[in-house]
């Protein structure tokens, strides 16, 4: 249960401000600004605002549904109106302009430009979201994680890690001089990766 103090701020029973009523928290303000920028999905905006990765999508939904945090939606509307006043750009105006550009490009036979304009229109209209994620980039993995991933790949695709003795199949070619191309000793190079230091 929340009560309003003399400054007009809603306070929970534990003495902290109630984020569902009245004043916006820092995370709510950051979330609203990111939503107005329109560069990220709702869940990504919540993550970037500081909400936990596991619950970001839930919080994004709650912050935007208008029932639980109506003051967040009011702040988003204020930010959009301010942006429209400052730049003279409205969502409807941009959608109309992109449609004109798309039709003009299509009539001129510039289909790539027309497709790009339509992609931007659909993103601006909220129909699509540009998601780019880097999954399992080796730069972000520790040595043990890399070794574990290699071991899992080795078990999943053993045929890719079979390294037997190789021999020169073109002994009469002048460049090879009949030499052995390479011989792998008893232990393969991949096996040596998994040895402990």
Residue at 131 is within a domain: no
pLDDT tens digits, 15-56: 766 665 667 888 999 999 999 888 888 999 999 999 999 999
Q: Is residue 109 left, alpha or beta, with left meaning phi > 0 and alpha meaning psi from -120 to 50? A: left
Listed residue (168, 170, 150) closest to 160, CA to CA: 150
What average pLDDT score do residues 9-13 get? Answer: 66
Residue at 136 is within a domain: no
The residue segments making up the domain with residue 188 are: 142-193
Q: Which positions ≥6 away from 46 have C-beta within 8 Å?
A: 31, 56, 57, 59, 60, 63
Least confident of 21-35, 116-130, 166-180: 166-180
What total of structural domains would you count in the chain?
Answer: 3
Residue at 62 is within a domain: yes
Do 76 and 12 lie in a common domain? yes
Does position 155 have pLDDT exceeding 80, yes or no? yes
CA dihedral 43, 46, 47, 53 (to 10 degrees): -70
Instruction: State residue 70's pLDDT score.
Output: 83
Does position 189 have pLDDT exceeding 60, yes or no? no
């Amino acid at each position: 249960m929340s009560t309003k103090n003399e400054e007009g701020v809603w306070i929970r029973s534990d003495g902290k401000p109630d984020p569902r009523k009245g004043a916006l928290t820092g995370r709510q303000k950051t979330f609203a600004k990111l939503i107005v920028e329109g560069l990220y999905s709702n869940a990504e905006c919540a993550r970037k605002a500081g909400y936990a990765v596991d619950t970001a999508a839930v919080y994004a939904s709650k912050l935007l549904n208008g029932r639980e945090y109506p003051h967040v939606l009011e702040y988003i509307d204020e930010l959009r109106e301010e942006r429209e006043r400052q730049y003279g750009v409205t969502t409807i105006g941009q959608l109309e302009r992109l449609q004109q550009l798309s039709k003009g490009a299509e009539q001129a036979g510039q289909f790539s430009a027309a497709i790009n304009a339509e992609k931007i229109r659909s993103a601006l209209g909220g129909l699509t979201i540009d998601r780019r994620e880097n999954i399992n980039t080796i730069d972000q993995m520790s040595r043990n994680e890399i070794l574990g991933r290699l071991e899992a790949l080795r078990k999943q695709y053993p045929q890719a890690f079979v390294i037997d003795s190789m021999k020169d199949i073109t002994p009469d070619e002048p460049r090879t001089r009949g030499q052995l191309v390479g011989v792998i000793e008893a232990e393969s190079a991949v096996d040596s990766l998994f040895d402990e230091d």
